[in-house]
Structure 1
Amino acid sequence: MKYRIYTVILSVVLLASCSALVSQNSGQRTKASSLVDYLYPDGQSREAHQPQIPVLTLPVKVGLAFVPSSHWQHDEIQSKDQLELLERVKQSFMQYDYIDRIEVIPSTYLKGGKGFTSLEQVARLYDVDVMALVSYDQVTQSLENNAAVLYWTIVGMYLIPGNENSVQTFVDTAVFDVKSRKMLFRAPGINKLEKRTTAIGVDDTLAEKSMQGFHLAVADMSTNLDAELARFKTRVKEEKIAKIQHSENYSGGGAMGLILLLSGFVLLVIRAGFNNRADNLSTQNAFDAKHMPSSKGVGSH
């Protein structure tokens, strides 16, 4: 009897660990970078932080970067993948006239330290006024379903879809004025993917779905970012979230710039009309003075 109990327990243990024998991604894993931990690495920095009302000089120069991974050894997202994702986020900024240029900054430049002091150093290096920091949190999970009992055969590990895999991804862009250390706005993006696979295919499936999840979450975030960027001018006027000043070479652009341009054109047309009318009157008066008899000459007859 005891022998049977031990056999059952051993079977359960072996069954539960079958996927672990062929994959390092069985169970639940997390990839994350924390904006709060990066900007406020200790309690003192959080208490000392007193953001001021930002003064933005339009058009602003924007730096765009991923917050370094919480993992102490390496980034969870490869550098080339980071740059590809950031290029998609960059498109959201490029359509607005109050933005001068957008610099995509590798996260390696942010690894040298933490806190706003480190952020200010990177901003000076790239000559930007505003930093858009992208943080992420991705949870991958691979659990064995009822079909996993067939893993006992080597063939089953290749052929039987005994693993339920899910990837949940959250990304967030927070935009800060560097000088005042004030957050101007933020935009989140989320995505969830699921796929059933064999034990042997767990690693490849999770790697594929991980990047797909990041791309879809960034696409969702970009939509929200577009909305926040469009609302920013209105919020400045109505909520007084920032003070605005303009550089010498900034015309204002957008609808207001078009209105001013049209107004100037109308004034030029009106002025030209008055000038033409004055010239015509002057010419007519000269002609009349030369060819028309004077009232004095008529009276003398």
Structure 2
Amino acid sequence: MLVRLTLVLASMFMLASCSSFMSQNVQQATQSSSLVNYLYPNPEDRAQHSAEIPVLALPVNVGLAFVPSDNWSGSGLHNQQKMALLDKVKASFSQHKYINRIEVIPDTYLKGGEGFSTLEQVARLYDVDVMALVSYDQVSKTYENKAAFLYLTIVGMYLIEGNENTVQTFVDTAVFDVKSRKMLFRAPGLSKLEESTTAINIAQTLSQKSQQGFESAFSDMITNLDAELGQFEKRVKEEKVAKVVSRNGSGSSISVSLLLIFGLLLVLRKPIKSGSR
């Protein structure tokens, strides 16, 4: 009896040691789209700087698009999901009166090339002045942890593996004036999700957390984007980050508010025709 008990305890110790060893086994997957690599495929161009001040014709036409992915995976964003997320970004732009029209552009139009030359071609195709480019970086890690435990059955002892899943997501919207190639502003968003699961449910859990990570990061990014859009008018006036003109070509460096007030005055001064009784 003592010998049998000793063998059982020794088996438990060996399996526990195996579990501890396996806890160091880490699997990592990354999916990303790099704004810098896309706009500056030649590293030497990244050091160039232009002192040109952007000139924006208000109200501006804006294009929204994802930067093409570097290493898309099956658990990544699909086209339908990308368009749904871009619609949320579009709603943020639509709240501001200095925005005229917003076009949601599939990233397939950007996959044909790289750099600002491709961006300018897409902008001409959609007749937009400003491009808002969304890039992302998501890292999924799975490692076997000490949640692994021994399960005693009639025929022996089994090791039930536990796994810790961490999904970290970063998204960023950078807004560029196409003509001057200057970035007007940017808004980041972050998300970190964790969940334990059994080994058999890893793929399903990671897929769910991947989608939730993008949703959460986009919510954070849109909050920051709303703030940046609200501050842009102030920055134009105080920091001289851009000159604004009316869309018909008149005007000079004036504020967004003055243009809106001028338009309102024109409407109020228009004579009202009396109708027949």
TM-score tier (shorter): 0.7 to 0.9
1:193 maps to: 193
Shift of 1:81: 1.1
Larger Rg: 1
Q: Deviations over 1:83-131 (max 9, x none)?
A: 1111111110001111111111111111111111111111111111000
Superposition pairs of residues 1-301 of structure 1, within 5 angstroms: 12=18, 16=22, 27-48=27-48, 50=50, 52-71=52-71, 76-150=76-150, 160=160, 162-248=162-248, 257=260, 261=264
1-structure distance, mates of 2:224, 2:239: 20
Instruction: Determine helix, strand or coil for the equivalent of 1:189.
Output: strand
Shift of 1:149: 4.9
CA contact (8 A) 1:51 1:180 kept: no
Instruction: Determine helix, strand or coil for the equivalent of 1:200.
Output: helix
Shift of 1:240: 0.2
CA contact (8 A) 1:61 1:129 kept: yes
2-structure distance, mates of 1:239, 1:151: 66
Instruction: Determine helix, strand or coil for the equivalent of 1:147.
Output: coil
Opposite residue 52 of structure 2, the aligned amino acid is Q
1-structure distance, mates of 2:45, 2:65: 22
Comparing 216-225 and 46-55, the one that deviates more: 46-55
Cα distance, 1:144–1:99 mapped onto 2, change above 3 Å: same
Superposition TM-score, scaled by structure 2 size? 0.78
2-structure distance, mates of 1:78, 1:227: 28
Shift of 1:76: 3.7
Instruction: Determine helix, strand or coil for the equivalent of 1:175.
Output: strand
CA contact (8 A) 1:52 1:181 kept: no
Cα distance, 1:227–1:161 mapped onto 2, change above 3 Å: farther
CA contact (8 A) 1:51 1:181 kept: no
Opposite residue 208 of structure 2, the aligned amino acid is E
Opposite residue 168 of structure 2, the aligned amino acid is Q
Instruction: Determine helix, strand or coil for the equivalent of 1:86.
Output: helix
CA contact (8 A) 1:168 1:213 kept: yes
CA RMSD of aligned residues (A): 3.6
Instruction: Determine helix, strand or coil for the equivalent of 2:77.
Output: coil
Cα distance, 1:103–1:198 mapped onto 2, change above 3 Å: same
Shift of 1:263: 11
CA contact (8 A) 2:131 2:175 kept: yes
Shift of 1:43: 2.2
CA contact (8 A) 1:69 1:76 kept: no
Cα distance, 1:247–1:262 mapped onto 2, change above 3 Å: closer
2-structure distance, mates of 1:217, 1:102: 22
Shift of 1:30: 1.1
Give aligned-pair identity as a percent.
58
Shift of 1:68: 0.8
Cα distance, 1:139–1:179 mapped onto 2, change above 3 Å: same
Opposite residue 61 of structure 2, the aligned amino acid is K
Opposite residue 145 of structure 1, the aligned amino acid is N
Which structure 1 residue ranges, 5 or more long, are not aligned? 1-7, 21-25, 269-301
Tell me which protein shows more helix as a share of its residues. 1
2-structure distance, mates of 1:261, 1:123: 30
The total of aligned residue pairs comes to 252
Superposition TM-score, scaled by structure 1 size? 0.73
CA contact (8 A) 1:141 1:167 kept: yes
Shift of 1:46: 2.2
